[in-house]
Structure 1
Amino acid sequence: MELDEVDWKILKILQADGRTALSEIARRLDMGSATIHERANRLESEGYIREYRAVLDPQLLEIDQVAFVRISTEPGRFSEVAERLVEEPDVQEIHEITGDADLQLKVRVSERSELTDLLRRIGAYESVRETSTDVALRNVKEEQALNLSTDR
């Protein structure tokens, strides 16, 4: 599916506030509500819009201890380790990477002891050779929004 300028504008508005009513988007873009509704449905069905959700404040919820964990696995086994890591609720992101390690995780916990427990579990996974952990001291920028400049 080829995205046109209107599609990009819809995505930009919804990314900024997923609760924006489609009628409000239609008003902003000076288009009919039915047209915007149809386009938004198409963007969802094609997978451009994966989900709508609230962005919670981890500090207020006291889930603000962040660590980045690099994992080295037995050769050729990183995918099965990654699939097992999906089940760990404190792991927010899992990336297959290049370099000295095979996987990199972003982990968020309430207390350091939870991080210690998680690292102990991961270290016991079959095929995990080594982990290396960096604990974040301060969050300077954390953004989920994509740069949707219409200059594409």
Structure 2
Amino acid sequence: MKESSADRSIDAIDRRILRELTRDGRLTNTELAERIGLSPSPCWQRTRRLESEGYIKGYTAILDRALLGVPETVLIEVTLDRHDDTVLETFGSQMAAMPEVIEVWLITGEYDYLIKVAVNGTRGYEEFLRQKLYRVPGIRHSRSSFALRCLKQGGVPVLD
């Protein structure tokens, strides 16, 4: 019987691999092996196993949003008027279709969702609100905050 990731824990070497790849996902296998103190072959095998078991879901680039013309980050809390399947599915699919939307989180508390949006200033945000967000059916209320500066971005804690 195949062992699943839930059945097996990762060891200190696996955690070092994850930590290094979180810092720089473009490391070559040779560079990664050197950083964690393994030879390339077992490092490659461990990395592939971590990928196949789902510890590593993929690799991505962090883009400079200012250079792309959308330097402002806005955090929007949204409350839906209902929570039936149709409203939830419509909301989710419309959020996924909007390129300005970077992340959407289902949250606890006063609001239902936290949305992270990239826009070009207050005018870009107003345009996003009026032409996109406020046209999504099922939204009862929203509250927004502009991010002033990002202190930490990306990464996942790889605990010892």
- Please give the range of the TM-score, normalised by the shorter of the 2 chains: 0.7 to 0.9
CA RMSD of aligned residues (A): 1.8
**Cα deviation digits, residues 5-39 of structure 1 (max 9, x gap):** 11001011111111111112223333231211111
What is the aligned counterpart of 1:118 among 110, 128, 147? Answer: 128
**Cα deviation digits, residues 40-82 of structure 1 (max 9, x gap):** 1111122211222222223344421111111111221463213
The gaps in structure 1 that reach 5 residues or longer are none
SS of the residue 2:97 aligns to:
coil
Task: State how far apart, in whole Å, the 2-side matches of 1:109 and 1:140 are.
Answer: 15
Task: State how far apart, in whole Å, the 2-side matches of 1:92 and 1:53 are.
Answer: 13
Task: State how far apart, in whole Å, the 1-side matches of 2:48 and 2:63 are.
Answer: 26
* Counterpart residue number, 1:91: 101
Matches within 5 A, 1:70-149: 70-77=77-84, 79-80=88-89, 81-120=91-130, 121-136=132-147, 138-149=148-159
**Cα deviation digits, residues 114-145 of structure 1 (max 9, x gap):** 22122122222221112221222x20413112
TM-score (norm 1): 0.86
- Partners of 1:123 and 1:130 within 8 A in 2: no
SS of the residue 2:156 aligns to:
coil
What is the aligned counterpart of 2:29 among 6, 17, 22? Answer: 22
Aligned CA distance change for structure 1 residues 24 and 122 (closer, same or farther; 3 Å): same
Task: State how far apart, in whole Å, the 1-side matches of 2:145 and 2:82 are.
Answer: 23
Task: State how far apart, in whole Å, the 2-side matches of 1:3 and 1:82 are.
Answer: 33
* Counterpart residue number, 2:61: 54
**Cα deviation digits, residues 92-127 of structure 1 (max 9, x gap):** 110111222211101111232222122122222221
Task: State how far apart, in whole Å, the 2-side matches of 1:12 and 1:126 are.
Answer: 41
TM-score (norm 2): 0.82
